[in-house]
Structure 1
Amino acid sequence: MCRTIAALDAAVSVCRACPRLVAWREQVARDKRAAFRDETYWGRPVPGYGPDDARLLVVGLAPAAHGGNRTGRMFTGDRSGDVLYAAMYAAGLTNQPTAVRRDDGLRLFDTRVTAPVHCAPPDNKPTPEERDRCRHWLHTELELLAPTVRAVVVLGGWGWQALMPVLAAAGWIVPRPRPAFGHGARVLLAPARADRAPLHVFGCYHVSQQNTFTGRLTPAMLENVFTAAAAVAGIAPRAPA
């Protein structure tokens, strides 16, 4: 198992465990979108982003084909990321409201962003087998963050379902039946091990265009979730610059 977040990120970035995802991410990187034809795509698995002592973990679904798969950073360079990081900035969790490219100066405060699947999938839909094959990366991430992490914000029902068995394996007690996903859902998981602390898990609609363009998820709704999660995680309030 990787012993540091830096080692984990390096290992994730060279994974080739899922043939369908490898073929797709590399095809997208070759073909490109017309608007980005002059750019060199990342075209590899996208590791998590944020400090190795984060108190808050944000869990999405998978990188976007022309977002994270292009830029090499979670939720960077696409409209979902525009909405996500603007809300995190409003909640005092980032130093800027935009995420355009890997060298744009974005910093996360006490927060890390990751996903259950690290490669861009066709139609944004990983298979159950791909999800399960990628699970050990998220498990390792939680093991490494366990000394400091106190809250998790899960974006979407797919991520919620993918995360629950990982939390159980990583040392928290997940009730049976498993807690249901919903926007605003909030569950406090008791530790199953002496080296774990209680963990607050928040549900939030995913920042997909399907949700944000239709108003199902508004900036205020997203900001409210992050503000509440930051508070229980013990992250000191920080006014946007």
Structure 2
Amino acid sequence: MTTPEPARQAPGARTLAELDERVCRCRACPRLVRWREEAARTKRRAYADWDYWARPVPGFGPPDARLAIVGLAPAAHGANRTGRMFTGDRAGDFLYAALYAVGLASQPTSTHIGDGLELYGVRITAPVRCAPPANRPTPRERDTCRPWLTQELRLLRPTLRSVVVLGGYGWQAVLPALADAGWTVPRPRPAFAHGARTTLRAADGGAPLTLFGCYHVSQQNTFTGRLTPDMLREVLVAAAETAGLPASGHS
């Protein structure tokens, strides 16, 4: 049986820049390849003049990030269009506004690559790198994609001190990646909840990592008030403080 592309390519990446380049070329999951490319062909009317990215989306943020934010997967007309995680859709608008409010981003909006946005000590990533139909990757697609996230976390290990996971899907997906990257995940595995907080020991005796749970920034949560800006900012400030990053709780 042929080894999936992520499992072959990810471990050899020595830097995040090299990893990102390899991620962008991945075609390991036929269903996701078809869907991301179909979205780029059909487009939404509002984006008819856009040249869609239509490839796997790499992580975004500095290589010495102390805090990582883990979502689910790119949106078909969001990051699959722009090529940057959480950019160009309502979920991203909610997230970047909060990051800016607490001092972790240079501006409150993210519309396209090259718009001037910078993240301060934060890297944003996801367990699945291609836009899935109905925003639901299959378990096999999630597992095939995992080596990209594992290697990303492994390369961030020297500086990474906290991780904010958006949603239960991301929480379940990130735990085995963290274990593969060198942290010890408790058994039974910690359960996801908004405001959940658990500390993972480094298997080699290095610095521990603190994992924070947060409801996903999906419209289903933000439009209904299940997740408010104050709730998101509270989690981001706690994670930033744990990671040793300056952050403000004020909007």
For the criterion TM > 0.5, the same-fold answer is yes
Distance (Å, rounded) in 2 between the aligned partners of 1:170 and 1:118: 18
Which segment is superposed worse, 210-219 or 88-97?
88-97
Shift in CA distance, 240/37, structure 1 to aligned 2, threshold 3 Å: farther
List per-residue Cα deviations over 1:38-60 (Å, max 9, x = no partner). 11100000000000000000000
Q: Secondary structure at the match of 2:188?
A: coil
Kept in 2, the 8 Å contact 1:156–1:203? The answer is yes
Report what 1:123 is aligned to: 134
Q: Secondary structure at the match of 1:75?
A: coil
Q: Does 1:148 find its partner at 2:155? A: no
List per-residue Cα deviations over 1:193-230 (Å, max 9, x = no partner). 14x31000000000000000000000000000000000
Kept in 2, the 8 Å contact 1:55–1:233? The answer is yes
Stretches of 4+ aligned residues off by more than 6 angstroms? 238-241
How big is the shift at 1:28?
0.3
Matches within 5 A, 1:1-241: 1-194=12-205, 196-237=206-247
Q: Secondary structure at the match of 2:32?
A: helix
TM-score normalised over the length of structure 1: 0.97
List per-residue Cα deviations over 1:149-170 (Å, max 9, x = no partner). 0000000000000001111111
Kept in 2, the 8 Å contact 1:41–1:70? The answer is yes
How big is the shift at 1:236?
2.3
TM-score normalised over the length of structure 2: 0.94
Distance (Å, rounded) in 1 between the aligned partners of 2:250 and 2:110: 15
Q: Secondary structure at the match of 1:189?
A: strand
Kept in 2, the 8 Å contact 1:95–1:240? The answer is no
Q: Secondary structure at the match of 1:237?
A: coil
Kept in 2, the 8 Å contact 1:77–1:99? The answer is yes
The AA in structure 2 aligned to 1:180 is A
How big is the shift at 1:21?
0.2
Could you list the runs of 5+ residues in structure 1 that have no partner in the other structure? none
- The number of residues matched between the two structures is 240
Distance (Å, rounded) in 2 between the aligned partners of 1:220 and 1:209: 16
Kept in 2, the 8 Å contact 1:116–1:134? The answer is yes
Kept in 2, the 8 Å contact 1:92–1:240? The answer is no
Q: Secondary structure at the match of 2:96?
A: helix
Between the two proteins, what is the percent identity of the paired residues?
66
